[in-house]
């Protein structure tokens, strides 16, 4: 866990996995390790968000979510952060713009599960995100068709990198996005909460 801003050197490729992590689970770990390998990333930063702007009910306290995320995600190339809290940003477009200003020469890649690609066109300034950083999308059970036919996928169909060439994503210029299939993980924070395992 890093309380301030993590260190990154110019030229490095950093994957950003934003999420509520309420709580973090093995699905997050699996997609992170796969993203490192498949998208040619040097590091991944988990960005435990103050709260998803599209979700009505607020998550657990950020300190508790960061502590639980740090317990489960133990890898030398992955850092759990509270960067958005620190930057004072809430929308991903703002966060990415702030990080690019703060880390000149560092290449950022936005990472998300297929469920988020489905509603990506509802995000604030989603085209700005697409046009500023490569986007790596990881399959999630139940979202294959909806993700592939989503508005974002259709509008940016020319900017799609095939899964065969996914390793090029980290060094690609935006707009570029890539969808990869992995052994799927059924894990979800809402299922953990529904089972009463995170109260």
Ligand X SMILES: Nc1ncnc2c1ncn2[C@@H]1O[C@H](COP(=O)(O)OP(=O)(O)OP(=O)(O)O)[C@@H](O)[C@H]1O
Q: Output the CA angle 118-113-126, nearest 5 degrees.
A: 50
Q: Are 12 and 106 in contact (CB under 8 A)?
A: yes
Residues 122-141 that bind ligand NCN (CB under 6 A): 123-124
* Alpha helix segments (H runs only) across 45-109: 62-72, 83-87, 92-102
57/101 with CB nearer ligand X: 57
Q: Is residue 149 involved in binding ligand X (CB under 6 A)?
A: no
Q: Rule CB under 6 A: say whether 70 interacts with ligand X.
A: no
Out of 15, 27, 40, 175, point to the residue binding ligand X (CB under 6 A).
Answer: 27
How far apart are CB 28 and ligand NCN at their closest, in Å? Answer: 9
When asked if residue 89 is in the footprint of ligand NCN (CB under 6 A), the reply is: no
- 28 binds ligand X per the rule CB under 6 A: yes
Pick from 115, 128, 132, 144 the residue near ligand X by CB under 6 A.
115
Sheet with 177-180, strands from edge to edge, namely: 78-81, 43-48, 13-19, 107-113, 135-138, 177-180, 160-161
């Amino acid at each position: 866990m890093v309380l301030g801003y993590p260190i990154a050197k110019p030229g490095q490729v950093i994957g950003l996995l934003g999420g509520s992590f309420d709580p973090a689970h093995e699905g997050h770990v699996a997609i992170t390790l796969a993203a490192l390998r498949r998208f040619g990333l040097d590091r991944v930063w988990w960005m435990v968000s103050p709260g998803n702007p599209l979700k009505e009910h607020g998550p657990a306290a950020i300190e508790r979510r960061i502590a639980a995320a740090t317990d489960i995600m133990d890898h030398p190339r992955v850092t759990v952060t509270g960067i958005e809290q620190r930057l004072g940003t809430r929308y991903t477009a703002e966060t990415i713009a702030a990080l690019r200003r703060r880390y000149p020469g560092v290449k950022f890649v936005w990472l998300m599960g297929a469920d988020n690609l489905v509603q990506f066109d509802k995000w604030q300034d989603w085209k700005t995100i697409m046009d500023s950083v490569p986007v790596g999308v990881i399959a999630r059970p139940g979202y294959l068709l909806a993700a592939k036919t989503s508005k974002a996928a259709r509008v940016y169909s020319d900017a799609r990198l095939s899964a065969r060439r996914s390793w090029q994503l980290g060094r690609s210029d935006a707009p570029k996005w890539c969808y990869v299939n992995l052994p799927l993980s059924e894990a979800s924070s809402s299922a953990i909460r529904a089972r009463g395992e995170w109260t």
